[in-house]
Amino acid sequence: MRKLLEMLDRVDRRVIYLLMALSVFIPLALRLSYPIPVGQGPSQDLFKAIDSLPSGSVVLVSYDYDPSTMPELQPMAVALTQHMFTRGHRIIAMALWPQGASLSQEAMSAVGDSLGKAQYDDWVNLGYTVGAGVSIVRMGSSIRAVFPQDRDGFPYDSIPLLTRVQSLRDIDLVISLSAGDPGIHAWVMMAGDRFGLPVGGGCTAVSAPEFYTYLGTGQLLGLLGGLKGAADYETMVREGRGNTPAGLATPGMAAQSISHLVIMAFIVIGNISYLAVHKRRKGAPK
């Protein structure tokens, strides 16, 4: 037992990396799936907020992330777009991060095409803007001033979806998919607290805890946190829709759960072996 504890105390970090890799790759390769129960919480709050909007509402989705956080945020974008389109909402996409404009185009065109939604009538991609908070404040008086044309160069006034949308006051809901700053924080501060717009969000798991304070005060309607938030949303969108595909996040949840178990096991084993070995060394005669 003592030898085992000493061996565990000196375990090579590469063994840990290998076990972590196996705990991720094997469940994915075997396509393991775990049930994802969605209880009351910020994911469901966002779902209900979108569900309760009347059909034809205009939702502004800001893609405030880049490819480095795609595994967490792109599944949210796809699931949210599916939900909004099936509810008959119209979507205005934009980005406060440069590469967000391309990622939004990818999500919107893929989902839009699969559901028969037309660009410029049901959705539009305004592209990227610099300035973050400054641009949001400007959009409060005129969206056209910030985006005189869409991402593909079509003039703002020639886009049917935007004929009745002059400023943020004509938007029914804002959703920021955020990997950092600028992102949810800027939208809550400028669009939510300044113009009184309802704001929802999706973010990387790293930044989720800082936004929980906005949920408590009602400054955020709902929040999708990391891959789990995306999987929650996919589950809610799929409910009642039969054998629809599992989405992008749900297949990763088994790997996520198993790798978390491995990490927990290492934390417990590491602490036990550390305490046992070092306690003995402390008590040993000098």
Partner 1 sequence: MNWEIIGIWLGAVLTLMLYSFLYRDNPFYKFAEHLFVGMSAGYWVIYNIFNVLKPNFWDELTGAGDGSPDYFMIIPGIFGMFMLARLVPKIAGLSRMALAMIVGTGAGLSLVSTLQTNCLSQIEGTIMPLSGVGTMGFIDNLIVVVGVVCGLVYFFFSKPHEGLTGKAAGVGITILMVAFGASFGYTVMARISLLIGQAQFLLFDWLPTMGIHL
Binding to partner 1 (CB under 8 A) within 255-274 occurs at 255-256, 259-260, 263
Closest to partner 1 by CB, 56 or 131: 131
Residue 95: alpha-carbon gap to chain centroid: 14
Among 8, 11, 70, 277, the residue binding partner 1 under the rule CB under 8 A is: 70
3-state DSSP assignment of residue 278:
helix
Among 8, 167, 193, 269, the residue binding partner 1 under the rule CB under 8 A is: 193
Determine the Cα angle at 222 with ends 143 and 89, to 5°.
50
- By CB under 8 A, is residue 11 in contact with partner 1? no
Rg of the chain (C-alpha set):
23
Binding to partner 1 (CB under 8 A) within 210-229 occurs at 213, 216-219, 225-228
Structure tokens at 235: 């589950």
Residue 117's Cβ-count burial label (10 Å; 0-12, 13-18, 19+) is: buried
- By CB under 8 A, is residue 109 in contact with partner 1? no
- By CB under 8 A, is residue 252 in contact with partner 1? yes
**Under a CB-based contact definition with an 8 Å cutoff, are residues 36 and 253 in contact?**
yes
φ, ψ for residue 132, nearest 5 deg: 45, -110
Among 2, 3, 10, 14, the residue binding partner 1 under the rule CB under 8 A is: 14
Give the integer Cα–Cα distance in Å for 238 and 45. Answer: 16
Residue with tokens 């990818």: 106
Among 7, 28, 145, 272, the residue binding partner 1 under the rule CB under 8 A is: 28
> Under the rule (CB under 8 A), what is the footprint of partner 1?
14, 17, 20-21, 24-25, 28-29, 31, 68-72, 98, 128, 130, 133-134, 137, 148-149, 185, 188-190, 192-194, 204-206, 208-209, 213, 216-219, 225-228, 251-252, 255-256, 259-260, 263
